[in-house]
C-alpha cells in the first residue's frame, strides 16, 4: 500500500515539474515576462489523473479571466485599501458564482486582488499578461496529461518487484 502511494506521489511530481518546465520554456519564448504565473498554473492544474487535470483546466481559465477583468476594471476607480481590496475580492467571487463557475471562485478572488495590489498603473496590460501566462501553464499541464504514466502501480495482489 505504501509503495502505491509513493509511486503516485512520484508520478504527480514528475508530471507537475515537466508541465512547469515546459511552461517556463514557452513563456520565455514569448518574451521577457516572468514565468511565475505559468509555473503556478501548471503545478496547480496538474493531477495524476489525466481526466482530472483536464477537468481542472477550464475552471482555472475562467477564474483567471473573471478576476483579471474585474481587477483591471476596478483598479482605476478604487483607492487601494483593506476595504476596497476585500470588496473587490467579494465582487470577483460573487461574479464567478453567479456565472455558474463554482470551481473558479477562489481563483477569481485572488487574481482580482493581485491586479489591485500590484498592477495599478497598467491593469489591463497586466490582466492580459497574467491571462496569457496562466493559459500557457494550464495548456502545458493538459499536454503533459496525455503522456502515459511511466510506472505501473502495484495492485494489492501483485508480487513486489
Predicted confidence (pLDDT) per residue in 8-61, tens digit? 889 999 999 999 999 999 999 998 778 999 999 999 999 988 899 999 899 999
CA-CA distance, 88 to 95, in Å (whole number)? Answer: 10
Gyration radius of the chain's alpha carbons: 18
159 secondary structure, DSSP code: P
Q: What pLDDT was estimated at residue 151? A: 54
For residue 161, give every residue at least 6 positions away whose Cβ sits within 8 Å of its Cβ, in sequence order, or none. Answer: 154
pTM of the complete model: 0.81
Q: What pLDDT was estimated at residue 5? A: 80
Whether the pLDDT of residue 153 is over 90: the answer is no
27 in Cβ contact with 136 (< 8 Å): yes
CA-CA distance, 27 to 23, in Å (whole number)? Answer: 6
Percent of all residues in the chain with a pLDDT value above 70, rounded to a whole number: 88
Q: What pLDDT was estimated at residue 28? A: 93
**Banded model confidence at residue 1, pLDDT cuts 50, 70, 90:** low
Q: What pLDDT was estimated at residue 100? A: 94
Q: Which of 79, 44, 46, 49 is nearest to 63 (CA)?
A: 44
For residue 77, give every residue at least 6 positions away whose Cβ sits within 8 Å of its Cβ, in sequence order, or none. Answer: none
User: What residues does each domain of the chain span?
Assistant: 2-145
Whether the pLDDT of residue 144 is over 90: the answer is yes
CA-CA distance, 143 to 129, in Å (whole number)? Answer: 21
CA-CA distance, 40 to 138, in Å (whole number)? Answer: 9
Between 26-35, 83-92, 94-103, the lowest mean confidence (pLDDT) is in 26-35
Whether the pLDDT of residue 138 is over 90: the answer is yes
Amino acid at each position: 500500500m505504501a509503495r502505491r502511494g509513493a509511486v503516485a506521489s512520484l508520478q504527480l511530481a514528475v508530471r507537475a515539474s515537466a508541465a512547469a518546465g515546459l511552461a517556463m520554456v514557452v513563456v520565455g519564448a514569448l518574451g521577457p515576462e516572468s514565468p511565475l504565473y505559468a509555473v503556478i498554473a501548471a503545478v496547480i492544474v496538474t493531477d495524476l489523473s489525466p481526466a482530472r487535470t483536464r477537468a481542472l483546466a477550464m475552471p482555472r481559465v475562467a477564474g483567471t479571466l473573471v478576476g483579471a477583468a474585474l481587477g483591471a476594471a476596478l483598479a482605476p476607480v478604487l483607492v487601494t485599501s483593506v476595504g476596497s481590496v476585500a470588496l473587490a475580492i467579494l465582487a470577483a467571487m460573487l461574479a464567478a458564482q453567479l456565472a455558474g463557475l463554482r470551481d473558479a471562485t477562489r481563483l477569481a478572488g485572488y487574481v482580482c486582488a493581485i491586479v489591485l495590489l500590484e498592477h495599478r498603473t497598467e491593469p489591463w496590460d497586466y490582466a492580459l499578461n497574467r491571462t496569457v501566462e496562466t493559459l500557457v501553464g494550464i495548456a502545458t499541464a493538459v499536454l503533459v496529461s496525455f503522456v502515459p504514466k511511466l510506472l505501473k502501480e502495484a495492485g494489492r495482489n501483485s508480487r513486489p518487484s
